[in-house]
Amino acid sequence: MKEFSALEINGLRKNILQQDEWKCLFSGVTARLTEPSIIALLGLSGQGKSTLLRIIGMLDAADEGTIQYEGRLASEWSPQAWRKKVCYVAQHAVMLEGSVEHNLQTVSLLHRTPFNESLAAELLRDVGLDYLDWNKKASDLSGGEKQRLALVRSLLMKPQILLLDEITASLDLQSKQSVEQLLKLWHSKEGTSMIWVTHDLEQARYTSQRIWFMANHTLLEDRSTKDFFERPDSEIGRQFLQVSKGDEGVSDE
């Protein structure tokens, strides 16, 4: 297991242009990852979860605030070095040109490290893609296959922090559960932290130790998963759980 380094997010603000006017999407977003953990990032659609994740992954810029990793500000890192450690996995996976194998090898080509073919095969098996022909054009895969291939591609890089953006959204139940199990196992084996955006409350409850809940244009709650589901601090948190449970058809325990 790798030595743990803290991620510190301080006072992040993001403004967006809406109908020719600058509006605050979120501000005062402050949080720390002080031990290897799986965080579920929850909130209604449009709160800025993906935007926050992309800022943490250095794929978007904040208007205010700072992020530090390993005690150094993000601005002191090259984006490439940062993204090797803090890796964003998108909801709609982007495949590189060429074959499945080429996509799997990208990371080693990029970082000039040997390609770990047996780990790639093992991970593909774990996410239910053992049947995949490695010579197939990656752009011809289905949405769910692309999502899982993108995840495997990111795991092969062995980042310290994975930023997961609704990565099981287009998966059938069995594949979704395989991915959840793999990521939980990977977390305990490798010590990789995960900030995992999901609208699936059962998934959040099953996989995460902490909840970051976005509402009211900020990160409103940062609590243990158990506490959040038992007693959200805010009225808006309570409403969110009620409405989301209704959506999922999940009844109170």
Ligand X SMILES: Nc1ncnc2c1ncn2[C@@H]1O[C@H](COP(=O)(O)OP(=O)(O)OP(=O)(O)O)[C@@H](O)[C@H]1O
Considering the complex, what minimum distance in angstroms separates the CB of residue 6 from ligand X?
24
Using only the alpha carbons of the chain, give its radius of gyration.
18
Q: Pick the closer one to ligand X by CB: 25 or 171.
A: 25
Q: Which range binds Mg ion by CB under 5 A, 4-12, 47-55, 111-119, 207-215?
A: 47-55
Residue 38: which residues within 8 A CB-CB, separation 6 or more? 183, 184, 187, 193, 194, 196, 207, 208, 209, 210
Q: Pick the closer one to ligand X by CB: 178 or 198.
A: 198
Considering the complex, what minimum distance in angstroms separates the CB of residue 234 from ligand X?
17
Find the binder of ligand X among 9, 42, 47, 210 (CB under 6 A).
47
Find the binder of ligand X among 9, 33, 48, 107 (CB under 6 A).
48
Integer Cα distance of 171 and 14 in angstroms: 31
Q: 87 has which bridge partners?
A: 162
Find the binder of ligand X among 6, 34, 35, 46 (CB under 6 A).
46
Q: In this structure, what token pair is assigned to residue 216?
A: 């009211």
Q: Which helix or strand (DSSP H or E) is residue 83 part of? A: helix 79-85
Cα 122 to Cα 55, 56, 131, 144: the distances in Å are 31, 29, 12, 18
* Binding of Mg ion by 50 (CB under 5 A): yes
Given ligand X, Mg ion, none, residue 147, with its beta carbon under 5 to 8 Å by kind, binds none
Integer Cα distance of 124 and 46 in angstroms: 32
* Binding of ligand X by 49 (CB under 6 A): yes
Q: Which range binds ligand X by CB under 6 A, 45-53, 93-101, 129-137, 217-225?
A: 45-53
Given ligand X, Mg ion, none, residue 232, with its beta carbon under 5 to 8 Å by kind, binds none
Find the binder of ligand X among 3, 19, 45, 94 (CB under 6 A).
45
Integer Cα distance of 34 and 4 in angstroms: 8
